[in-house]
Amino acid sequence: MQAINAIRTMNLMNSKKVIPILFVLVILATIGMYANNVYKAFYPIESLPKQTITTISQETLEQTYGLRVNLVAVTAAGGLVDVRLKIIDGEKAKTLLSDPQNFPSLMTDNGVILRTSEEIAKQGIKIENDGNLFLMFPNSQNLIKPGTQVTILFGNTALEAIPSK
């Protein structure tokens, strides 16, 4: 009778160790996924996409795609670039922003491309008339400073360079 009780006690002790170990492994896997996404967000891509880039003016962006750039500014002690777009015409903006490949990214005057994290890019953009789109880009290596010429890329469409504030 005592041998049976001892075996049960050992099995309970082993299961009590397994649950905390699994909990720690789940936490480590979650931290690893987030660390990978942060690494990707702060790692600039050093070259332009291989497709042909079409450059448009701010006037064309507003007339053709219903978007206006209200702000491109360095913020958070130089760690972030704040980009604010005004949606003038939601229907026109949908032609550009409905494709996830056209999610805005930034290109510096020396050709480095900055992107938001994958989670932000995967979120749907609520496109409505007179709406606003606020984007924060990690300022990798402090590449963008006030006065730096910044180009906003929408897939293979590039907006003429704008000086950051």
Reading the chain (165 residues) residue by residue, the pLDDT tens digits are 555 555 555 555 566 777 788 888 888 888 887 777 666 655 554 444 455 778 888 999 999 999 999 999 998 888 889 999 999 998 888 888 888 788 888 988 778 888 877 776 667 677 888 888 888 888 877 888 898 899 999 888 889 989 999
Q: Does residue 81 contact residue 141 with C-beta atoms inside 8 Å?
A: no
pLDDT recorded at residue 38:
64
pLDDT of residue 26: 87
What pairs with residue 82 in β-bridges?
73, 136
CATH topology for 54-163 is Immunoglobulin-like (2.60.40)
Structural contact between residues 64 and 105, judged by C-beta atoms closer than 8 angstroms: no
* pLDDT of res. 46: 47
In the structure encoding, which two tokens stand for residue 22, read together? 């699994």
The whole-number pLDDT of residue 32 equals 81
Beta bridge partners of 81: 74, 137
The answer to whether 116 touches 80, Cβ cutoff 8 Å, is no
The Cα 3–Cα 55 span in angstroms is 81
pTM of the model: 0.66
Helix, strand or coil for residue 139?
Answer: coil
Reduced to 3 states (helix: H, G, I; strand: E, B; else coil), residue 151 is strand
